[in-house]
Amino acid sequence: MDNLYDPRFGDADVAACLSEEVRLQSMLDVEAALAESQAALDLIPATAAAVIRACAQEILYAPEEIARDAIRDGNLAIPLVRQLTREVAARDGDAARYVHWGATSQDIIDTGLVLQLDAAVPLIVDRLGLAAAAAADLARRHIDVVMSGRTWLQQATPITFGLKAAGWLEALARARHRLASAWSDARVVQFGGATGTLATMAPHGEAVADALAARLGLRRPGMPWHTHRDRLVHVAATLGIAAGSCGKIARDVALLAQTEIAEAHEAPAGSRPSPEPQSAGRGGGSSTMPHKRNPVSASVAIAASVRAPSLVATMLQAMPQEHERGLGTWQAEWQTLPDLVMCCAGGVRATAEMLRDLEIDPARMRANVDATGGLVMAEAVSMALAHRIGKPAAHDLIESACRRAATEQRTLQDVLLADAHVTAQLTPDEIARALTPEHYLGSARTIVQRVLDRYDQRLLERYSPRA
Amino acid sequence: MDNLYDPRFGDADVAACLSEEVRLQSMLDVEAALAESQAALDLIPATAAAVIRACAQEILYAPEEIARDAIRDGNLAIPLVRQLTREVAARDGDAARYVHWGATSQDIIDTGLVLQLDAAVPLIVDRLGLAAAAAADLARRHIDVVMSGRTWLQQATPITFGLKAAGWLEALARARHRLASAWSDARVVQFGGATGTLATMAPHGEAVADALAARLGLRRPGMPWHTHRDRLVHVAATLGIAAGSCGKIARDVALLAQTEIAEAHEAPAGSRPSPEPQSAGRGGGSSTMPHKRNPVSASVAIAASVRAPSLVATMLQAMPQEHERGLGTWQAEWQTLPDLVMCCAGGVRATAEMLRDLEIDPARMRANVDATGGLVMAEAVSMALAHRIGKPAAHDLIESACRRAATEQRTLQDVLLADAHVTAQLTPDEIARALTPEHYLGSARTIVQRVLDRYDQRLLERYSPRA
Amino acid sequence: MDNLYDPRFGDADVAACLSEEVRLQSMLDVEAALAESQAALDLIPATAAAVIRACAQEILYAPEEIARDAIRDGNLAIPLVRQLTREVAARDGDAARYVHWGATSQDIIDTGLVLQLDAAVPLIVDRLGLAAAAAADLARRHIDVVMSGRTWLQQATPITFGLKAAGWLEALARARHRLASAWSDARVVQFGGATGTLATMAPHGEAVADALAARLGLRRPGMPWHTHRDRLVHVAATLGIAAGSCGKIARDVALLAQTEIAEAHEAPAGSRPSPEPQSAGRGGGSSTMPHKRNPVSASVAIAASVRAPSLVATMLQAMPQEHERGLGTWQAEWQTLPDLVMCCAGGVRATAEMLRDLEIDPARMRANVDATGGLVMAEAVSMALAHRIGKPAAHDLIESACRRAATEQRTLQDVLLADAHVTAQLTPDEIARALTPEHYLGSARTIVQRVLDRYDQRLLERYSPRA
Amino acid sequence: MDNLYDPRFGDADVAACLSEEVRLQSMLDVEAALAESQAALDLIPATAAAVIRACAQEILYAPEEIARDAIRDGNLAIPLVRQLTREVAARDGDAARYVHWGATSQDIIDTGLVLQLDAAVPLIVDRLGLAAAAAADLARRHIDVVMSGRTWLQQATPITFGLKAAGWLEALARARHRLASAWSDARVVQFGGATGTLATMAPHGEAVADALAARLGLRRPGMPWHTHRDRLVHVAATLGIAAGSCGKIARDVALLAQTEIAEAHEAPAGSRPSPEPQSAGRGGGSSTMPHKRNPVSASVAIAASVRAPSLVATMLQAMPQEHERGLGTWQAEWQTLPDLVMCCAGGVRATAEMLRDLEIDPARMRANVDATGGLVMAEAVSMALAHRIGKPAAHDLIESACRRAATEQRTLQDVLLADAHVTAQLTPDEIARALTPEHYLGSARTIVQRVLDRYDQRLLERYSPRA
């Protein structure tokens, strides 16, 4: 039975690229392309290449046998090549000579992995684009919605929800660009033979390597990279960073969705018609508590941000691989990198859906700003006073006014109007104006507009969330 | 298709405890035991409990539906309970009222996990016992085999292979004890209802909790632990430490198995009759290099030691779980803990097999000691001299003699016999004696014997590797 | 200049145990105790031991020279022993022969570290005791204070603050016990000479090792553990688990302290007379926002819980140490373990202070329970109904009532009283009773009392927070 | 006393950029530049800016007071600004009004950090250049030196040392490019005020931000990034990847330096005249074993590669920062990022020195190839045979020949010449040729030359290691 958690915490499309079936098939695709490349260079008979290709595509392999033999052989390629050779031999004894010619197991395993990732990573890049477009949409629609900025989980000074969403947008757009760029560097063929010299095909090794890369649509690197894993690790790191930014956004949403704050909510499950179950909203119910509306998508994104750092660390930790083939270090990558890709894909997808379906409550946002009786405007009044009496004196004056307001359960305005030190500097109108959140938003609108201008159009063209 | 890597890097028996089928069944077992506990206390009809038990054992559930709904619901328990309730209702409409009575999803998921681990962890404890017994066997058989001790990967002073194996034995025995002890603390039922008050069953909550724990053979904790995960994390940490000790042993073996050192080898695949494929030796061949005998078991144990630290870190990282139920933090455990158990189980099993089948070459060990022309005995001569002229002077004298021996490609003995400063203090016989590794083993035998006396008998009784 | 962050994020007393000065002095203490042990066994002259002891205690060493030479030598012990030998030689040329006799650098470095930890770890054990006692005090004082239990950061069902604090207490008490137990296993002397055979002192190596352990007040292990680091790693893991539990508690407090929730607060700085600055409360102000009261202690504990997992992972990752001395792996521990101890000490201390000074607002807790218009009591009514019509039907009925209450901004009581399906089953009084949080606390009081009975008295005797 | 380990494991120049003194001064530089920017825009008096600048540069601050107050205040900026304001007020009471105008603590702390890194990171980029140039030099000088390629730590097929060094070169050059590129993205000013709106300076906030960035020589980002840390985390990740590649190279060197392999050695300490202690070679001696030449630089690089992954993980883990200011998450970065920079700087520097001074023993490399009696050439013969009888049959034939050679202690040539199946296909000359390592190097020379052509000239111009 497949892992039941994958669908929920992952992304079904990405999972499909990373399945065991596709893993084996990708390795077979490499073997077939290798034979074809060699045939095109007249190194092996064209008929042999044709039989190898046919067997690589048509034969049902025995995964149990491969798994069992891999225990002894130490990797999947050895038993897989053994089965392929057996099949080829059954059709054309001569062709069997040319299976896996010049390659080492790691060439097949690594290049197969690159093929799998070349399907999976662009999907995640696109999901990041969708998430960014959804954030852009939120920023545009709510550009002037006033809410509390919060530091240390305390109300601080007012911001707009547009500003918060613009921050999400920028982080997602950077994550998208960074992942795409790292993957572009990493989609290189692995082909070097046992120790990277391509000796078995001399003097044609270089030509075969070029042809193989071209046939698979991959780039050819400067040299084989069996024990230099930095390109893959960089991809892993950019995935981890994407998961981290999604975790930040999801944590914001989860905090806004708290019962007592209630400024944003995930759309409840089923609130949106969708052909896919994963797209139908995940605001989940409880098995026992009928009133709950749980931030399920946020939990998926946060879980990914908790898991990804360690999976990235394993990839980094496995880098010091011995000589021309790692001993236990390469092997440590085998489960880790697919797990990381799945985990980050799940976090990114959940974030994209969460943002697409996010319900904002501007009235509640405004009410929460008011709930402290003006305390959240303390800095604004302090700054207004500071223009007259300097920052330190203003800070002290307002700090004590805030304390009085809190202790005596009065609004800050009441306290200030009753304070001769304050009224000596500010008129009641000035005080009222200083206490109005809408007047204390600084550059928020300018910033949001600039960010939208930078990203919005390009993203919306490709990833319109409201099509 | 199941993950092809599991069988190789894991342990089939442990994997069987951690499968998705068993995960669902364990949760159903908890639901059935809960109903029976409530029936035994006359809180629900005995007939209802019987129907729930029957459905929990006989029904084929639809895992695809569970997986799909779990996306929306946020965990596996909600759709599973929904299916169970539907089945129970189909047989006995009244009984359906009592399904999942008083429990929250996390009660079922956590207690189900504890049941799974209660099958899996003792297997790993036993594997650690087997590995320790194999190390004890090696230490006993090779107690007096002289080899180079190595520091900084340089030959240092002579030791015995018995001493090295005794170090492995002690570490494995400690790992076994530590894991068993941590698990004994952690095998506690989770049962608290939505927020840990057992309110839905008041005033019978405590009695139900006691009965449920007794029925499942688990301990009852002081209170529910929905967001206090330290017991599980401690188990995770002791698993990680076991993997680390296995990684140390495997690294030693891999270094000894290097072509140029060749003091130890994994038994080649198939060298040992075994009913199980995993027990048939894994010294693997190469897909292209016919002369290779790869340390495959060592690579599995090293890979586990590279992966485990990060998985432990995720468990630690997920500890700050919010209020009465974690948001993304608990969820981060779901794949991590089973992965960690599998990963460590694989490393431990590979170590046990590696040690059981390890081939030692005492002649090569002795030859390698001699290969430096006596340089490895430098400390011994230095110490013999130090008794006469003090440690600093002796160290300087011998350091320069070593440099000469290395530069001029002479044996240390030649150089020393030609050095008047040395011969003024030591006779040729004294020099020869000081240069004999067998005379410079200090307490090695005493130490090994003490360690064997402490562990050997108990371990051998339970885990005899040579039965 | 010392690291400015240490005092804030650490614990000054623990920092004092881990300073560079103490590190060097601890290593010198080991050298002195070694010479005295050898003198007591008549292996070296008593006068030599006396001079070595005197120099080890009286001489001002040149740390810059040690640091500079350590670059070349690869560890601190080599240049330190060189300086010690020089000093001893200046007083007594013969005594210089006996400095560092029979030891290897790692014996001195590791045993010195164990001495440092033997001062530091018990302080952390005590801080955990203080924190647990403070939690016990909170649990006792607020045993019946009703508040919202929260799952997914949503109000769920009512609990008591006593129950929450009892959970904190149990976790802290377990952390304390676990750390004390792991340290008890790990406080063993390291003494084996170059490769663990004690060869230079044969046949007296064992006797010297016993005497050295006794003199330092440490236990003697079964054998040297130069490359078997599991005991130290277990200590590291239990520190990490303690930091994780503190992080959980601090996150709870930070969430309760949010402006909109306001159920608990850290005491403001200076609110409590204290001879130590660290004990004066840390509820910090803002540089620009006069009304803020930041949860500073919580931030320290959370930061520790974010940092500790990775530092534990490094310790695990460094376990596979090569042969008889690690190459880069042992060295990776050198900064990591002290950092981890400091980091966890800081988190534990901040937690102890935070709990000791925590201000609880029971009225606000009760008001927040009411703020949802009864929604938080949904499960209670659902359960009351379930006794009549079964859980599934009750759940559906109440779920739709909740939705109506939320949409129409009515209280749940209003909606229920207007719902014929409900009033057919429950009288208005029964509905009112079901909606009263105080009637839906289940076993909360029993559980808290049991936990207090188990831990309170022992803890309070030693760690009374209200003395 | 400063941390004694820093100089050894770090890099003195980088450490100087990251000291506590520089940390405080960088924050003061930001305050001064802020005041000057505001004065240039006529927002504050030019005289006030001048006094602030003067105090920021001339005053000796009291670090103990700052450290003590930071405990209560929660960060370093609050007490530092307090001291600065006090100093400014003492000189010009009016100017004190304008200290820290419009900034929040995090603006000062983050921008100060960016200034520190802007000094430190380019040094590491340069060290990577030096290391790459040293690898290029090795590759060029030893382009045709034959040695064993090794997989699974077993001799596999021959390579050249040039090929190995070219792999190191490419990895180092990629690490250099990646770090430089990530840093170029991350060197952005942080300036947003309390919650990122720049409200206190409205409508001039944007202009001040532009001016501040220009004055500090930093880029201005799209918006404040208080809780979006991805740029810094990307720098951390590229540092970690650099450390990983250095760890791979150092592990190769340490394995080659093993007593039994002895193909490469670190230059012994003092073997090279150098004005700096760190540049004098670190091949260290032992405190007790006079013959040892320890790979000290390799140990530093390996230790960095063991520590860095976890420090990167902490940075990733700290990414989900709450709302407009992190609570414990931002704080977790404070020690981690400088530690990571130091750790990686040390690993990179040690690698650069190790490569610059590496001593290669081509004769020993060739002898080790021969030591297996031709077994390392097994693939070559197998391939020669495969051209005649197909790969599977050839593999089997040679595998059994290898087994015979190993068992009977004969050379592979002897066994092959005596095997009729082989001699039926290959003449003695063909066998001899197939067994000659120099004839089985494939594309090694072509690859090395291509890599050198790509990197060598540019690197050598800037970083010539042999000037």
pLDDT tens digits, D228-271: 999 999 999 999 999 999 999 999 999 999 999 999 999 765 54
Helix (H) or strand (E) holding B313: helix B296-317
- Tell me which chain B residues have a C-beta less than 8 angstroms from the C-beta of A24: 4
pLDDT, residue A373, reads 84
Among D291, D317, D372, select the one facing B375 at the smallest CB separation.
D291
- CB pair distance less than 8 Å for C148 and A293: no
pLDDT, residue D125, reads 97
**Cα–Cα distance for residue pair B337/B345, rounded to 1 Å:** 12
Among B4, B282, B335, select the one facing A72 at the smallest CB separation.
B282
In the predicted structure, residue C292 carries a pLDDT above the cut 90 = no
Size of interface B-D (CB pairs under 8 A): 134
- In C296-421, DSSP assigns E strands to 359-360
Which pLDDT band, with edges at 50, 70 and 90, does D403 fall under? Answer: confident
Local mean pLDDT, 10-residue blocks, chain A (467 residues): 57 90 95 98 96 88 81 88 94 92 96 98 96 96 97 95 98 97 98 95 95 98 97 98 98 97 82 41 53 84 97 98 97 95 96 96 96 86 87 86 88 93 93 93 96 80 64
- CB pair distance less than 8 Å for A322 and D255: yes
Which amino acid is residue C351, in one-letter code?
T
Which amino acid is residue B128, in one-letter code?
L
In the predicted structure, residue C345 carries a pLDDT above the cut 70 = yes
pLDDT, residue C124, reads 97
Average pLDDT over chain B, rounded to whole? 90
**Mean pLDDT of all residues in C421-433:** 93
By the CB < 8 Å criterion, does A451 face chain D? yes
Annotated active-site residue in B274, B286, B310, B443: B286
What DSSP assignment string belongs to D53-93? HHHHHH----HHHHHHHHHHHSSSHHHHHHHHHHHHHHH-T
Q: Which residue has the higher pLDDT, B6 or A11?
A: A11
Counting residues of chain B whose pLDDT is more than 70, the rounded percentage is 91
Which pLDDT band, with edges at 50, 70 and 90, does B290 fall under? Answer: low
The pTM assigned to this predicted structure is 0.95
In the predicted structure, residue C277 carries a pLDDT above the cut 60 = no
Q: What SS3 state is found at C152?
A: coil
- CB pair distance less than 8 Å for D234 and A175: no
In the predicted structure, residue D290 carries a pLDDT above the cut 70 = no
pLDDT, residue D465, reads 54
Q: Which residue of A has its CA nearest to D81?
A: A392
**Cα–Cα distance for residue pair D161/D138, rounded to 1 Å:** 8
The pLDDT tens digits for B196-242 are 999 989 999 999 999 999 999 999 999 999 999 999 999 999 999 99
pLDDT, residue B66, reads 86
- Angle made by CA atoms A441, A465, A238, in degrees to the nearest 5: 80
- Tell me which chain B residues have a C-beta less than 8 angstroms from the C-beta of C435: none
DSSP code of residue C419: -
* Tokens read off for D427: 């003449």
Which pLDDT band, with edges at 50, 70 and 90, does D279 fall under? Answer: very low
Q: Are B108 and B31 in contact (CB under 8 A)?
A: yes
In the predicted structure, residue D284 carries a pLDDT above the cut 70 = no
- CB pair distance less than 8 Å for D240 and A195: no
Beta strand pairing status for B359-360 and B264-265? Answer: antiparallel
**Cα–Cα distance for residue pair D375/D155, rounded to 1 Å:** 8
- Tell me which chain A residues have a C-beta less than 8 angstroms from the C-beta of C317: 317
Q: Which residue has the higher pLDDT, C139 or C392?
A: C139
Best residue in A150, A153, A265, A361 for a mutation probing chain C (most C CBs within 10 Å): A153
pLDDT, residue C383, reads 84
**Cα–Cα distance for residue pair A392/A112, rounded to 1 Å:** 65
Hey, which residues of D are catalytic here? 286, 325
**Cα–Cα distance for residue pair A283/A297, rounded to 1 Å:** 7
pLDDT, residue A289, reads 54
- CB pair distance less than 8 Å for D71 and C3: no
**D 372-391 → A contacts, CB under 8 A:** 379-380, 383, 386, 389-391
Distance of CA A260 to the CA centre of its chain: 30
Neighbours of chain C (3+ CB pairs under 8 A): A, B, D
**Mean pLDDT of all residues in C250-260:** 97
Which pLDDT band, with edges at 50, 70 and 90, does D62 fall under? Answer: confident
By the CB < 8 Å criterion, does A153 face chain D? yes
* Tokens read off for A75: 């990797």
Three-class HEC string of chain A: CCCCHHHHHCCHHHHHHCCHHHHHHHHHHHHHHHHHHHHHCCCCCHHHHHHHHHHHHHCCCCHHHHHHHHHHHCCCHHHHHHHHHHHHHHHCCCHHHHCCCCCCHHHHHHHHHHHHHHHHHHHHHHHHHHHHHHHHHHHHHCCCCEEEEEECCEEEEEEEHHHHHHHHHHHHHHHHHHHHHHHHHHCECCCCCCCCCCHHHCCCHHHHHHHHHHHHCCECCCCCCCCCCHHHHHHHHHHHHHHHHHHHHHHHHHHHCCCCCCCEECCECCCCCCCCHHHCCCEECCCCCCCCCECHHHHHHHHHHHHHHHHHHHHHHCCCCCCCECCCHHHHHHHHHHHHHHHHHHHHHHHHHHHHCCEECHHHHHHHHHCCCCHHHHHHHHHHHHHHHCHHHHHHHHHHHHHHHHHHCCCHHHHHHCCHHHHCCCCHHHHHHHCCHHHCCCCHHHHHHHHHHHHHHHHHHHHCCCC
By the CB < 8 Å criterion, does D231 face chain A? yes
Among B257, B313, B379, select the one facing D289 at the smallest CB separation.
B379
Strand pairing partners for D268? D283
The residues, ordered by sequence, that sit 6+ positions from A40 with a Cβ below 8 Å of its Cβ are A211
Pick the range with the lowest mean pLDDT from A6-20, B170-184, B359-373: A6-20
The pLDDT tens digits for C93-134 are 899 989 999 999 999 999 999 999 999 999 999 999 999 999
In the predicted structure, residue B114 carries a pLDDT above the cut 70 = yes
- Tell me which chain C residues have a C-beta less than 8 angstroms from the C-beta of D100: 287-288
The residues, ordered by sequence, that sit 6+ positions from A36 with a Cβ below 8 Å of its Cβ are A49, A53, A215
Q: Are A307 and D319 in contact (CB under 8 A)?
A: no
**Roughly how many angstroms between the first and final C-alpha of chain D, as a whole number?**
37
**Dihedral in degrees, nearest 10, Cα atoms D209, D212, D217, D221:** -20
In the predicted structure, residue D171 carries a pLDDT above the cut 70 = yes
The pLDDT tens digits for A11-58 are 889 999 998 889 999 999 999 999 999 999 999 999 999 999 999 997
Nearest one of B213, B181, B179, B188 to B340, comparing CA atoms: B179
**Mean pLDDT of all residues in B367-381:** 88
pLDDT, residue D277, reads 37
How far is A263 from chain C, CA to nearest CA, in Å?
A: 11
How far is D283 from chain B, CA to nearest CA, in Å?
A: 11
In the predicted structure, residue B288 carries a pLDDT above the cut 60 = no
The pLDDT tens digits for B330-346 are 999 999 999 999 999 99
Nearest one of D110, D114, D115, D83 to D99, comparing CA atoms: D83
- Tell me which chain D residues have a C-beta less than 8 angstroms from the C-beta of C287: 77-78, 81, 100, 103-105
- Tell me which chain D residues have a C-beta less than 8 angstroms from the C-beta of A317: 244, 305-306, 309
- CB pair distance less than 8 Å for A294 and C257: no
- CB pair distance less than 8 Å for A228 and D171: yes
Beta strand pairing status for C359-360 and A359-360? Answer: unpaired
**B 291-320 → D contacts, CB under 8 A:** 291-295, 299, 309-310, 313, 317
**D 259-298 → C contacts, CB under 8 A:** 269-270, 277-278, 280-282, 284-289, 294-296, 298
pLDDT, residue B380, reads 87
Best residue in C148, C153, C375, C382 for a mutation probing chain A (most A CBs within 10 Å): C153
Average pLDDT over chain A, rounded to whole? 90
Which pLDDT band, with edges at 50, 70 and 90, does B9 fall under? Answer: low
Counting residues of chain D whose pLDDT is more than 70, the rounded percentage is 91
- CB pair distance less than 8 Å for B295 and D395: no
pLDDT, residue D285, reads 58
ipTM of this predicted structure:
0.94
- CB pair distance less than 8 Å for B289 and D378: yes
pLDDT, residue A101, reads 92
Neighbours of chain D (3+ CB pairs under 8 A): A, B, C
- Indicate left, alpha or beta for A29 from its phi (over 0: left) and psi (-120 to 50: alpha): alpha
By the CB < 8 Å criterion, does B392 face chain D? no
By the CB < 8 Å criterion, does C101 face chain B? yes
Q: Which residue has the higher pLDDT, D112 or B280?
A: D112
Q: Which residue has the higher pLDDT, A4 or B76?
A: B76
pLDDT, residue B285, reads 58
Which pLDDT band, with edges at 50, 70 and 90, does B383 fall under? Answer: confident
Q: Are C374 and C411 in contact (CB under 8 A)?
A: yes
By the CB < 8 Å criterion, does B90 face chain C? no
DSSP code of residue C161: H
pLDDT, residue A465, reads 54
pLDDT, residue A288, reads 54
In the predicted structure, residue C195 carries a pLDDT above the cut 70 = yes
Q: Which residue has the higher pLDDT, A303 or D391?
A: A303
By the CB < 8 Å criterion, does C398 face chain A? yes
- Tell me which chain A residues have a C-beta less than 8 angstroms from the C-beta of D451: 222-223
Q: Which residue has the higher pLDDT, B2 or C119?
A: C119
Which pLDDT band, with edges at 50, 70 and 90, does B279 fall under? Answer: very low
The residues, ordered by sequence, that sit 6+ positions from A305 with a Cβ below 8 Å of its Cβ are A243, A244, A246, A247, A248, A250, A347, B328, D317, D319, D320
- Tell me which chain C residues have a C-beta less than 8 angstroms from the C-beta of A156: 286, 289, 292
**Cα–Cα distance for residue pair A304/A243, rounded to 1 Å:** 6
Q: Which residue has the higher pLDDT, D106 or A68?
A: D106
**Cα–Cα distance for residue pair B357/B346, rounded to 1 Å:** 16
Q: Which residue of B has its CA nearest to A337?
A: B307
Location of structure tokens 């797209």: A279
Which pLDDT band, with edges at 50, 70 and 90, does D66 fall under? Answer: confident
**Cα–Cα distance for residue pair C208/C38, rounded to 1 Å:** 6
